[in-house]
Amino acid sequence: MARRITQEFEDIELNPDEEDRFFVNGAHQNARIWYWDCVMVIDSTDTVYRHTYLNLRCEFPPEYPYKPPEIFFQTPVFHPYLHRGELCLHIFRELEWGPTKTMRSVLASIYDMLVSDGSNLDHLNICKERSMEYTRNLDYVFFDQIIQRCLRMSLPEETPLSEEVDATWDMIGEWDTEVLKQRQLNDILIDLVDTAFEEKFQGLQTTVLRILGIVNGLFINKEEFTRMNTFSEVEMPEETIVVTPIDGPARDIPKWKSVSLFSAMNPGSLAGGDDSLIVPLSSENLTTVLSLCTPQEEMSVRIYNPCAESVSKLTEPIKSLDLKATLALLKTVDFLGIRRFVFACCVQLSHYLRRNGRRLYANRMAT
C-alpha cells in the first residue's frame, strides 16, 4: 500500500493536472493511516461553487488500492452527495472501483461532481441529501444563494470559508436551518430594495434583485441563470462633444461611446442650439460621471448572483461611495445609458443591502 500511494503522489507532483483542477498539498502518515491533503480549484463560472477552492482529505485504508479511499471535505460546504463533508463510499461502488483506479481519476471525478453541482451522479443508485437535491432541481437560484453565502463569497470584506485555517462544520448550520435563514433574508432584502428605490425604477430594481440572487417564482433553468453580462471594450474617443449641464457653462468633453446618450444624439438635439447638448445634470454630477469614463477592457460578469471577487474590478472606481451617493450615481448613469456603470452601481448597492439585511436578520433573531 505505502509504495502504491507514494508512486501516485510522486506522479501527481511531477505531472500536475493539466487543467489545474486539483492539487495535492502533502502526503502524510500517522500511526493509523496514510492520508493526503488536497485542494479543488473551481474556476468554472457554471456552478454554485464558482471562484473558490475547497480543501479535502483523502484517507487510505490498509487494503488500498483494493478498497477506495475515504474522502472528507475540510472546507464546510453543502453538496447533495456529501453528508457533513463525507463523500458516500457507495459512489466508488457505482463507479466500479478496482485496483486499476488511481487517485488522479478519483480527484478528477470529485471535481466533475462539484462543477456539475452533483447532477452528473443523479443517475446512480447512491445515497444523497434529498432536500438539497430537491432545492437544486426545483429552485436553482435559491440553491446558489445558500451555497455562496455559506462559502462567504457574497461580500467583498468577507474571508472565504476556504481560507479559514481552522474551518469547522460549526461555522454553518444544518441544511434545513440555512434554507429557512435564506428565505427570511430574501424577504428582508426585497423590502430593502423597495425602500431604496421608493417603489420606482422597476428595471433597476430587477437588476439589483438578480444580483442578490432573487427572482420571482421558482428558477430551474441553469443555462439562463449562468448567463453573462458582457461589457465591450472602451477606447479613448477621438471626437468631442459640447455638453451644457443645467447650471452651465458649456463644456467640450470626449464623446465616449460607452455613454449611450452621447452616441445616440447629435449636438443640438436636446434644445441646446446647433453645437451644444443640454443634459439635465449638474456640473458636479457631470464631472463625477466623466471621472469614471476611462478606457476599459472587455469584461463579462454573471447577471444573477455574481460573487464579490468576480465584480471587484467593476466596482473599484465607486467603492468609496456610500449608499445615498451610489443611488444618486446609479440614476445618473442610467439616464446617460452607461451600461457598465449601471451594473457596477447595482452591484455596489447590493453589497449595502446585503449588509443591512444581515444586520436586520441578526436583530430579529436576538429579540
Cell of residue 230, nine digits: 458582457
29, 50 Cβ separation under 8 angstroms: no
The pairing of strands 228-231 and 299-302 is antiparallel
Active-site choice (38, 58, 88, 346) = 88
Residue indicated by cell numbers 433574508 = 185
Contact criterion met (CB below 8 Å) for 127 and 90: yes
- Max CA distance (Å), the chain: 87
Contact 38, 23 (CB under 8 A): yes
The residue written with cell numbers 433553468 in the block is 221
The residues near 41 (Cβ < 8 Å, ≥ 6 apart) are 20, 21, 22, 23, 53
Identity of residue 171: M
User: How far from 180 is each of 145, 157, 175, 361, CA to CA, in Å?
Assistant: 12, 24, 9, 12
In angstroms, the CA 241 to CA 263 distance is: 10
Residue 24 corresponds to which amino acid? Answer: V
Q: Please, which residues bridge with residue 334 across strands?
A: none
Q: With H, G, I as helix, E, B as strand and everything else as coil, classify residue 284.
A: helix
User: Collapsing DSSP states into helix, strand and coil, what is residue 54?
Assistant: strand
230: Cα within 13 Å, side-chain hemisphere: 4
Residue 88 is a catalytic residue = yes
The cell for 128 is: 444523497
Q: Which positions are catalytic?
A: 88
